[in-house]
Amino acid sequence: MIIVMKKNATQEQIARTVEWIESVGYRPHPSHGVERTIIGAVGDARVPEYIKVIEQLSGVEKAIPILKPYKLASREFRGDDTVIQAGYVEIGGPRFVVVAGPCAIEGEEQIMESAYIAKKGGADILRGGAFKPRTSPYSFQGMGEEGLKLLRRAGDSVGLPVITEVLNTEEADIVAEYADILQIGARNVQNFALLKRVGKSKKPVLLKRGMMTTIEELLMSAEYILSSGNDKVILCERGIRTFETATRNTLDISAVPVLKDLTHLPVMVDPSHAAGAWKLVLPLSRGALAVGADGIMIEMHPRPEQAVSDGMQSLKPERYYAFMDEIRKIEGLIRPLSEVGR
């Protein structure tokens, strides 16, 4: 449920309300706004009479039950859009955020060149995989901690925040040491131990939708992170598995406005993994912009033909520059209109 405090509620009244919530076995999640404080109380909903009791507490204006199974991620919990800070970049704000870089960190020269290209083209965040989850055990598995060090150095050299994937709980702390944003990939969207682990981190988490994950299941996975104490969650639609074989996955573009209606969390799109082909990245990115996504994550490589993974879906530098020029032009036309409609 949500407990709405009165506008003139004192800090002592808020603290007593939090204590009461904890005393009945619920977990309090205060959200301090400009005018008033709202407290999310998450726990077993077997005792509806708690609502009547809590409304009698001093400083409480009303208590509202949340009907959605995902409490903290829901629009009922927070009506305003959440804006997440990663370095100097705001995700969920007025700017359409572009994350760009190679699928995998292959060496110092490659990631440094990628960082320079990403920055020159106008990207906001640098991506690169240090630990790679691969379908085949014989494929390149990533450079590990050495790759993390190179990614950090590359991002710092051009002034870009960096994002990379966390594969398991054992690597969560070491990845958080180097990355500005922790990425949970499609294969780990329901790895609940990992979700709870990154939920204890203070770093923003980009949570990708699984290939066979429903929108509600995605939001329930986000709830694991939120309920563990980390309110910096970014959702990412990256394509789902269907009967279609013309593309690597099927980009569920409708998921973006649906999520925007159901949750306050920012929503991004990964057209590269959805398409599996560089020619489709631009048209899918146009679609992401048009339906209200907060940003995109694309793959770019200095020499895609030499890439150890996902070369077919990676943009060459010249294509990347042309891509970014068009995206920023479209953003200038669409984003002001979307702001008016909010």
DSSP string for residues in 22-82: HHTT-EEEEEE-SS-EEEEEES----THHHHHHTTSTTEEEEE---SS--TTBTTT--SPP
Contact 192, 225 (CB under 8 A): no
Q: Rounded to an integer, what distance in angstroms lies between the CA atom of residue 146 and that of residue 330?
A: 38
Model pLDDT for residues 108-120, shown as the tens digit of each residue: 999 999 999 999 9
Q: What is the pLDDT of residue 342?
A: 45
Identify the sign of the CA torsion 6, 222, 132, 249: negative
Q: What is the pLDDT of residue 135?
A: 59
Tokens encoding 163: 């994002």
Q: What is the pLDDT of residue 95?
A: 94
Q: Rounded to an integer, what distance in angstroms lies between the CA atom of residue 129 and that of residue 147?
A: 8
Over residues 172-184, mean pLDDT:
97
Model pLDDT for residues 16-58, shown as the tens digit of each residue: 999 998 888 888 888 887 778 888 888 765 556 677 788 889 9
Structural domains in the chain plus CATH codes: 2-64 (3.30.70.1140), 84-341 (3.20.20.70)
Q: What is the DSSP pairing of strand 267-269 with strand 295-299?
A: parallel
Q: What is the pLDDT of residue 46?
A: 52
Rounded to two decimals, the pTM is: 0.88
Q: What is the pLDDT of residue 131?
A: 82
Question: 340 pLDDT band (50/70/90 cuts)?
Answer: very low
Q: What is the pLDDT of residue 341?
A: 44
Res. 312: pLDDT tops 50: yes
